[in-house]
């Protein structure tokens, strides 16, 4: 598992490997597009907030483009996200505006993580996003220190994504009359190689 903390920079360069942001599910590549997809209640936002928490804990600034305005600051703060380092853009359900905002923020530079949340956008709309738009987003962060993450119900970016993480809820864990959390299975696909991981999202 290659993480920023574990891999010596010289080693990373010699293997021509990109740097990785965070350690959630093995981290996400910096300077590339990562797609996170899954149905509702599959842990997509949990993974996203874990990434935001790791990115902001290191002192970086993050941008969250929230298409539906579903982000819950209280949950995120409880998960360790430093809210003062997060720029939150609410797009009122307009996916086109969300894509434009993501493009502008990626072009602006300086953000450690730019996250595009299309999770509640209907698949028929998100699938309509042209591949050129994803390619443009990928190029905007290429050779920069910004990691770009897209969260959706399905994969849309095709080959523009350097890493794809597919999430599924195994089951909700109940303890007595309490919701303990959820068991999540993640399939991480990179360079046509898949790896299964499981984690627990605890309330």
Partner 1 sequence: MFACLHTPGNLPLLVECAGYFSPFIEETADGTVVFDIRGLRLIYGTPEQIAAAIERRMGLKANLAIATNPDAAIHAARGIAGITVIAPGREAKALAPLPLYLLGGSSEFARTLDTWGIRTFGEFAALPPLGIAARLGDEGVAMQRLARGQGDRLLRVSKDPLEFFEEFEPESTLDLLEPVVLLLGRMLNDLCARLRAHALAVNEIRVRLKLERAPDHVATLCLPIPMLDAQVFLKLLQLELDARPPQAPVERIRLDLKPVEPRTTQHGLFLPASPEPEKLEITLARIRALVGAANLGTPELVDTHRPDSFRLTHLRILQTSLVRAGIPATSQEPVLQNPVAGDTNRAQRHELPVRVIACLASFQKLILRRFRPPQHAQVWRGTDGRPSRISFSKGDGRVIDCAGPWRTSGDWWTGEPWDHEEWDVEITSATAGGVLRVHRDCRRGEWFVEGSYD
Q: Interface residues for partner 1 in 99-138 (CB under 8 A)?
A: 100-101, 104-105, 107-112, 119-120
Helix residue ranges per DSSP H, 89-200: 95-108, 123-126, 131-141
**Angle at CA of residue 72, ends 76 and 173, nearest 5°:** 70
Select the span of 3-11, 98-106, 125-133, 135-143 touching partner 1 (CB under 8 A). 98-106
Is 177 a residue that touches partner 1 (CB under 8 A)?
A: yes
Pick the binder of partner 1 from 4, 31, 41, 190 (CB under 8 A). 41
CB-facing half-sphere around the CA of 60: CA atoms within 13 A: 20
Is 183 a residue that touches partner 1 (CB under 8 A)?
A: yes
**Angle at CA of residue 189, ends 186 and 193, nearest 5°:** 125
Q: Name the minimum Å distance from CB 200 to partner 1.
A: 5
- Decide whether 58 or 130 has the Cβ nearer to partner 1: 58
- Decide whether 88 or 155 has the Cβ nearer to partner 1: 88
Q: 61 near 111, Cβ under 8 Å?
A: yes
């Amino acid at each position: 598992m290659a993480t920023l903390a574990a891999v010596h920079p010289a080693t990373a360069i010699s293997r021509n490997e990109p740097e990785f942001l965070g350690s959630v599910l093995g981290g996400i590549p910096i300077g590339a597009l990562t797609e996170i997809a899954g149905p509702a209640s599959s842990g997509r936002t949990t993974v996203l907030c874990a990434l935001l928490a790791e990115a902001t804990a290191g002192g970086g600034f993050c941008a969250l483009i929230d298409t539906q305005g579903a982000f819950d600051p209280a949950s995120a703060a409880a998960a360790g996200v430093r809210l003062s380092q997060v720029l939150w853009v609410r797009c009122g359900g307009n996916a086109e505006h969300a894509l434009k905002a993501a493009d502008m923020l990626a072009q602006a530079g300086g953000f450690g993580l730019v996250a595009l949340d299309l999770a509640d956008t209907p698949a028929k709309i998100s699938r309509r996003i042209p591949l050129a738009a994803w390619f443009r987003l990928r190029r905007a962060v290429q050779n920069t220190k910004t990691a770009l993450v897209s969260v959706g119900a399905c994969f849309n970016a095709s080959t523009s994504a350097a890493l794809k993480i597919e999430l599924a809820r195994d089951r909700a864990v109940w303890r007595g009359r309490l919701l303990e959390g959820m068991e999540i299975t993640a399939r991480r696909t990179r360079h046509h190689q898949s790896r299964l991981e499981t984690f627990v999202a605890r309330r």
